[in-house]
Structure 1
Amino acid sequence: MPRPVHFEIHASDPARAQAFYESTFGWKFQQFGDMPYWSIVTGDEGDGINGGLTQRRGPEPAIDGPINGASMVVAVDDIDAYIAAAERAGGTVALPKDAVPGVGKLAYYKDTEGNVFGMIQPEPRA
């Protein structure tokens, strides 16, 4: 069945978004030629997916508006530490941390560009 192979983050201020994701998750960014597009490396090859950061086209979404579009979910080993990192980097709560039985702890945040992303601390399987 089809699986996600890439994600893109659209940002009104790409430098600000880059700083947010570097500070929160330690992701690496590299500009793609002269275009306003940056490749994002999220970890070792073959472990998860990588993505891209691009200049937003069109109006900036309302930061306090409804969730529009898809969101990515990032697996973390200590959700509380990553929530703290996201908040230090300027992120805000979209949906607070909650326990999902048999899955783990899940929280949704908005980055500095108003994009929603999830963080999940998987629960060990019995």
Structure 2
Amino acid sequence: MQRVMRFELQVDNPQAAIDFYADVFGWKFHQLEGHDYWFVSTGESGEGIDGAIMKSPDGVARTVNSIAVPSVDQFLAKIEERGGQVVVPKMTMPGMGYLAYCIDPEGTIFGVSQTDPEAK
């Protein structure tokens, strides 16, 4: 069974969102060098997952959940076979792994993410 591993907040103003979530919830942020992408640490203990904040590519605010998979390529094929659509093809996140964004048959966007520290 594949589990949600990370959330991503896509917003118009990342700094405003960072300020809000840091102030309200005490979350910590670390910017990915050279990118408008910030990793979010939501805590050290207890239930929950970490995430990220980024500038929305189309100006629409949304939350995208990424699901951990052993192979992005295999799951993209399964998603398309079952009526889903790949909307952002597999991309490399150097030192982290691979990620792609899809839409399910009901129109919900989600990510599939494969961990690979050797990714370049």
Scaled by the length of structure 1, what TM-score is found? 0.45
Under a length normalisation based on structure 2, what TM-score does the superposition of the two structures give?
Answer: 0.47
* Greater strand content: 2
